[in-house]
Amino acid sequence: MATKLYVGGLPYSTTQDELQEAFAKAGNVTSASIITDRMTGRSRGFGFVEMASDDDAQKAIEMWNGNDFGGRKLTVNEAKPLEPRAPRSNDSYGGGRSWQ
C-alpha cells in the first residue's frame, strides 16, 4: 500500500523532478508534488511524496528527516489526512458581519 509523506523545508527552487529523484534513493516513488501559491505560482516550500510501500516510506523518513537538502533542513513525516474545512460565509470580508 502506498504511503504519502509530507516534505517541509524545501528550497523554493526545488522542482518536482528533483524531489522525486531525491526520494527515489530510498525506494520506489509513486508520485511527487510541490505545493505552489495560487496567486504567484511560486513554491510554498513544501510538498508531498507518495512511496510505493510502507517500508520505502520509512526508509525515506530515516534518510531525509532532519537532513540537508539544497541548503535547507527537511522535515519529513507521514502526511496527515486533509481535515474538512468549515464552510465560508457569503460575506466577501470573511468577518461574518452583514454590511447594509
Asked if residue 84 is part of any domain, the answer here is: no
At 61, which amino acid appears? Answer: I
Band of pLDDT at residue 55, cut at 50, 70 and 90: very high
CATH assignment of the domain containing 34: 3.30.70.330
- Residue 2: the pLDDT is 80
Total domain count, the chain: 1
- Residue 100: the pLDDT is 53
The alpha carbon dihedral of 41, 47, 52, 56 has a sign of positive
pLDDT score of 96 more than 90: no
Asked if residue 47 is part of any domain, the answer here is: yes
Provide the 10 A C-beta neighbour count for residue 18. 16
Q: Which residue has the higher pLDDT, 56 or 100?
A: 56
- Residue 92: the pLDDT is 57
